[in-house]
Amino acid sequence: MSTSDHSAGPVSVPASFAVTVADVELEPDDLDPGQIVSGDPVVTGKVLWESPDGKQVRGIWQITPGVVTDVEANELFVVVGGRATVEVEGGETLELGPGSACVLREGDKTVWTVHETLRKAYHISY
């Protein structure tokens, strides 16, 4: 005899899907004016999936040319278009372009110099 409770029913899992990253229509995303070092960068994005507990997010993000600062999340992303140089405080300088896969550590302080509008597909874990 089982003592587990099945009264809650099955957990709903979203269907698998695919998108063409370059064609996804993005929505305006806030960029704190205090993060802008130079230029007039504009950020857009689209969350494609988020875990029920909010601890994992997958989506697409884009930024136009300029220089901005950030404090990073635990993130893996792949650049699908554009170019940027990311300086990690106390660490490496990362040159990013189409096809670059990048891993950022939570808490890393970075300076992003975006040379050409950069679009990436990302996975963040909180």
Q: So what's the pLDDT on residue 15? A: 87
At 87, phi and psi to the nearest 5? -95, 120
Is residue 42 a contact partner of residue 23, using CB atoms and an 8 Å limit? no
Q: So what's the pLDDT on residue 92? A: 96
Cα–Cα distance, 96 to 92 (Å, whole number) = 12
* Among 126, 120, 123, 104, CA closest to 44: 120
Is residue 122 a contact partner of residue 60, using CB atoms and an 8 Å limit? yes
Q: So what's the pLDDT on residue 13? A: 63
| Sequence-ordered strand ranges (E) for the chain | 27-29, 36-39, 43-50, 56-63, 66-71, 74-88, 93-96, 101-104, 109-125
Domains of the chain with bracketed CATH: 33-125 (2.60.120.10)
Pairing of strands 93-96, 101-104: unpaired
Q: Quick: pLDDT tens for 10-44.
A: 555 678 999 999 999 999 999 999 999 999 999 99
Count of all residues that appear for the chain in the document: 126
Q: Quick: pLDDT tens for 57-73.
A: 999 999 999 999 999 99
pLDDT at 5 over 50: no
